[in-house]
Amino acid sequence: MAPKPAARPAEKFPTPAKIAITLVVNGAAHKLEVAPWTTLLDALREHLDLTGTKKGCDHGQCGACTVLLDGRRINACLALAVMQDGAAVTTIEGLASGSTLHALQQAFIEHDAFQCGYCTPGQICSAAGLIAEGRAKTADEIRELMSGNICRCGAYPNILAAIESVLARNGGAGQ
């Protein structure tokens, strides 16, 4: 007769309970229950099905996950969702007004500022934050302030042209 399997001991380090948070994403409040280690990026993609924000390096080095948090650009892969409770998050899906594209979205199309498109949402959100900051006046300043967003296809000249066109069109202010 086979011996009975031993009873499993209680967890030495119990898994923490999920935490209830509210995120205001693209103008709509969303109540979520997330594990304490859930990043803002994963909350957006896995809990809210907003897949425009991309997961690139997952280390804050590529900028593919850039979103606007209370109007400031951040790498969503480095921000814990529980620390953003009550914050306003704008993703690429929230930049347009209905069927009218945001000025940057339109400029990226007009200037062919993308190739594969993977980095484009992060590039556009970062550019929206850059314009709102009001610090970039020259091409070199734009390049420096956009340096956290990597484009493996090398569309940098067109990305720069798109951002410059929006700055010129709006006198330095975004849409």
How does pLDDT run across 7-57, given as a tens digit for each residue? 777 778 888 899 999 999 999 999 999 999 999 999 999 999 999 999 999
Across 94-110, average pLDDT: 97
| pLDDT grade for 171, boundaries at 50, 70 and 90 | confident
Across 92-98, average pLDDT: 97
pLDDT value, residue 174: 46
The residue among 108, 152, 112 whose CA lies nearest residue 127 is 108
pLDDT value, residue 175: 47
Quick one: which H or E segment has residue 128?
helix 120-133
Q: What is the pLDDT of residues 59-68, one digit of tens each?
A: 999 999 999 9
Across 73-89, average pLDDT: 98
Whether residue 6 is predicted with pLDDT greater than 80 in this model: the reply is: no
Give all strands (DSSP E) within 6-144, no chain letters.
19-25, 28-34, 66-69, 72-75, 88-90
Question: Going by C-beta distance under 8 Å and a sequence separation of 6 or more, which residues neighbour residue 132?
Answer: 71, 174
Q: What is the pLDDT of residues 104-162, one digit of tens each?
A: 999 999 999 999 999 999 999 999 999 999 999 999 999 999 999 999 999 999 999 99
pLDDT value, residue 12: 81
Confidence (pTM): 0.89
pLDDT value, residue 1: 66
Give all strands (DSSP E) within the chain, no chain letters.
19-25, 28-34, 66-69, 72-75, 88-90
Q: Which strands, in side-by-side order, build the sheet including 28-34?
A: 28-34, 19-25, 88-90, 66-69, 72-75
